[in-house]
Structure 1
């Protein structure tokens, strides 16, 4: 009897333990973070995050690297590698071939002009004194974002997105975002603005933030390096010929006296554009972002919220001075303090066990072409206008001297389809003929006709990237990729030594390889050399948020990161 009693007690204990473990496991499974934070740093190539590691503190970038899960082989899987396409791909989990954001602007056959990726004539710009300025929205985004799926799953969850750039705020939030805010220098004294797509007027807290005149105060300062300039040995000398001088300065060198520069830019009605080239722009965005979390009451209840923040100053610094510049090094050192400030806020207000974050970039960038030339590296400048003339003359040999090319810039060449139809010619045949001719010209690495991109799947890496960036209703008749280190321009004459600052958009590693680090609740410490892509971010967020993703998703959840 006693033995049977012991057996019954043991069985009861086992059942109790199993039930307790099951309940604990289920509790852990359902225990979502209070807030998920996506951090994107514009034009932060993989090298930039690690190049200045010794000058970072221990609580910003280094904390993410040392305590988070770091994917060291994270590359974009499409072209062009640009801001709008990058942000859309990160938050939708797919490529431009599905989400439709093929570039920052693209040529429209309907309006015979360039089309901006977020400009929307159906909405008004809010947060400025005028009420007649066209606003912006995610109208051109063709699939749902992770934020949209979160809202569909639970309408009480909130999605808020902020940036200095409109596209970097609007596209991450998607079509169901509660709010998107961005910086305006065109129509206001540096206000944070939004559009009537989200609400009829900006919240009172945004009005108050703008009334404080923070942009103006920030531009009343002088920008000098954090550390003695002679210690910036990771960068090229401060005075070099690969960088643009701004505001009438004779050289692109420190210090930057913004009160003096304001006077020059004011004459061009661009005074507040200066904040985009100042580290103070990133600081103001952090302040605004933290206030947005507070005022929008993100992470304050049982429903998980999504907050997206995108830092843009690095991109403008790169285009102006280049990734090799002391200016870029100093901005990264200062941005490290902004990341620390944001993480400290999240720690203090939610606790590290109640938030999950990731940090990445929308694209990298190559060194200035003038620097490559000085180093004896392969480089070059292609004039699309000159090549357009050459294509027209080539086609004239067979079809007559007519304006066969309608538009050619960056990776898209558009043929004049009305003319081809009027002449009773085969469009696909002309596309192939133009692609084949382009491949005979200097500086062209790939040229693929649109007809080929609509068929099957390419196996070659670059060809597949071209196909992933092709959206039939918006892309050209021929997709073009230039040689490594070669850039294109619409100018007919441009000497290589005149090309200052960085460019991006190519399928080469300097443009595609960017950081990806996960951090916070449910994320283990670790490093992976696995090849992953930005399209894997949204599916991973879907696992964290426990929501489904749309059928268009190309990526996969990064299961390695989970504890």
Structure 2
């Protein structure tokens, strides 16, 4: 006997196939440099613009963490833009050593000339030579050859890190006074809209004053007092706001323009100019208005430049993030008007977190310590003396950041066993550096499959780039900085970043599953219609967070 539902289907005849959901016409990939995840929680009661909208309408993966140890700008942007961790992407740090090579490798250094509004101005400049993996825009171009990719940042490593090897326009701020620049790797000249901005920025910046935009008597939650111990004031300032940019006597003078541009880089105006340029690109390039999805990458750098001076809970960083919230709101409203709210998607993350000022941590009864350059010099002396005593020969040894480097040829020429010498030096570091948490040897760093902090360290090195020793500091410790703060460790405060997706097909709400910025590209590809099997074929370190 035929069932009722089957009989009804036979009577109705063939049904049209269910249409696939429309593909978003624009992806907006946003990286806020040095935005620790808990900053959004701290400021959520006073956010009203784009950050508020991301928190309210976005699918947030709370607890996202970086999956490697060298938490710096270069690898952070490349991981977000490529879906791969540093040991696979090729970008291991902002700069790194290759054993046997005296010169440091800059993460986005390369042979392409730098290019400003007046043409090429410096050879051996900036490009994506070191990026071994395709970024999101390059993958989009494989399916949609007409897709446009525009990347804008205050930093070259931010723009190139997100935009990748094949961006149509890749632009960053020039502290030498040229405004927005690029390199010949991305075109023979600046796009007209970028050239216009490069000609006009001085008029916007000259005399610009940074005033606090919130009620100073009732600051947002968690905002600290001005002029705290450990802060580094802006040039000519006393550590308080207001603070003004100079007013050049001759706006055409290259030295005065360079001075002004360098100070623009240090204040929130840089992000405002970057987002303004993003709006110009959106309209001039007709992003999202044809059948091929486009990509707009916005790597916003001011939180990092200000945060290094004042710390994440300062009035300056608080004000900067409120300004960013409003400016992102303007951008999102423009996208809604031009494309429709259902026609674009966004992803927000960060390249790394940051340590609170050690002095502030001590006030909060948390570990906080500054290790002076003199202390690092004394440790270097201890290690050098040991080499001289045991090998009966002078061997070159340097400490660069958290890494100890020896000249392996010197050790071998003196009859030393590299493995044994490294172990001995590691023991000396543990004995003479109480601020050291863990010390890893080259042999440990170049192995595979470790868990915990060693596993994070292994994801930051390749065999040719691993130092003889890596010193991982105790929580709250800064090396060689007498003021300000920084990042670069595997501690929670450095690895904690936001990860939020907004737009169709993302469901508003919070998730606590394990996630990281390497999941952004696979997830965005899934939202654009790639199948799970197609995504897995790319060999990402991340995975799609959509089913």
CA distance in 2 between partners of 1:201 and 1:316 (Å)? 28
1:242 paired with 2:226, answer: no
Alpha carbons 1:322, 1:500 under 8 Å: kept? no
**TM-score, normalising length: structure 2:** 0.91
- CA deviations on 1:164-218 (whole Å, 9 max, x unpaired) are 11100001111122221111121x34x111100011111222222222x224422
Alpha carbons 2:175, 2:265 under 8 Å: kept? no
2:18 to 15, 19, 23: 23
- Report the CA distance between 1:412 and its aligned residue: 2.5
CA distance in 1 between partners of 2:134 and 2:348 (Å)? 21
CA distance in 2 between partners of 1:514 and 1:115 (Å)? 26
**TM-score, normalising length: structure 1:** 0.89
CA distance in 1 between partners of 2:326 and 2:158 (Å)? 21
Partner of 1:258: 245
CA distance in 2 between partners of 1:398 and 1:269 (Å)? 51
CA distance in 2 between partners of 1:287 and 1:7 (Å)? 58
Partner of 1:434: 425
CA distance in 1 between partners of 2:294 and 2:256 (Å)? 43
- Report the CA distance between 1:447 and its aligned residue: 1.5
1:280 to 255, 258, 269: 269
Partner of 2:512: 529
Alpha carbons 2:32, 2:301 under 8 Å: kept? yes
Secondary structure of the 1:85 match is helix
1:412 paired with 2:403, answer: yes
1:230 paired with 2:217, answer: yes
- Report the CA distance between 1:230 and its aligned residue: 1.4
1:508 to 491, 500, 503: 491
Question: Structure 1 61/389 Cα, relative in aligned 2: closer, same or farther at 3 Å?
Answer: same
1:124 paired with 2:119, answer: no
- Report the CA distance between 1:260 and its aligned residue: 6.4
2:80 to 90, 98, 107: 90
Question: Structure 1 260/50 Cα, relative in aligned 2: closer, same or farther at 3 Å?
Answer: farther
Partner of 1:77: 67
1:32 to 6, 23, 26: 23
Alpha carbons 1:40, 1:309 under 8 Å: kept? yes
Partner of 2:189: 201
Partner of 2:391: 399
- Report the CA distance between 1:133 and its aligned residue: 0.6
Secondary structure of the 1:241 match is coil
- Report the CA distance between 1:423 and its aligned residue: 2.7
Question: Structure 1 244/260 Cα, relative in aligned 2: closer, same or farther at 3 Å?
Answer: farther
Alpha carbons 1:219, 1:262 under 8 Å: kept? no
Secondary structure of the 1:239 match is coil
Partner of 2:447: 455
CA distance in 2 between partners of 1:67 and 1:339 (Å)? 14
Question: Structure 1 13/255 Cα, relative in aligned 2: closer, same or farther at 3 Å?
Answer: farther
Question: Structure 1 375/54 Cα, relative in aligned 2: closer, same or farther at 3 Å?
Answer: closer
CA distance in 1 between partners of 2:32 and 2:86 (Å)? 20
CA distance in 1 between partners of 2:406 and 2:196 (Å)? 50
CA distance in 2 between partners of 1:223 and 1:381 (Å)? 30
Question: Structure 1 216/381 Cα, relative in aligned 2: closer, same or farther at 3 Å?
Answer: same
1:481 paired with 2:472, answer: yes
Partner of 2:92: 102
Alpha carbons 1:143, 1:552 under 8 Å: kept? no
- CA deviations on 1:368-402 (whole Å, 9 max, x unpaired) are 12323444532223344332222111223321241
Partner of 1:167: 157
Alpha carbons 2:128, 2:165 under 8 Å: kept? yes
- CA deviations on 1:464-486 (whole Å, 9 max, x unpaired) are 11111122222322222111111
Question: Across the two proteins, how many residue pairs are aligned to each other?
Answer: 533
- Report the CA distance between 1:344 and its aligned residue: 0.6
CA distance in 1 between partners of 2:205 and 2:525 (Å)? 38
- CA deviations on 1:494-527 (whole Å, 9 max, x unpaired) are 7xxxx33221111111111111111012111121
Alpha carbons 1:393, 1:401 under 8 Å: kept? no
- CA deviations on 1:24-70 (whole Å, 9 max, x unpaired) are 2xx22xx210011111111111121121222221x421111111111
1:446 to 426, 430, 438: 438
Question: Structure 1 199/402 Cα, relative in aligned 2: closer, same or farther at 3 Å?
Answer: same
CA distance in 2 between partners of 1:445 and 1:555 (Å)? 29
CA distance in 1 between partners of 2:26 and 2:217 (Å)? 42
Unmatched 5+ stretches in structure 2: none
CA distance in 2 between partners of 1:50 and 1:61 (Å)? 11
CA distance in 2 between partners of 1:296 and 1:288 (Å)? 12
Secondary structure of the 1:541 match is helix
CA distance in 2 between partners of 1:203 and 1:268 (Å)? 22
Alpha carbons 1:262, 1:271 under 8 Å: kept? no
CA distance in 2 between partners of 1:181 and 1:13 (Å)? 61
Alpha carbons 2:96, 2:104 under 8 Å: kept? yes
Secondary structure of the 1:151 match is helix
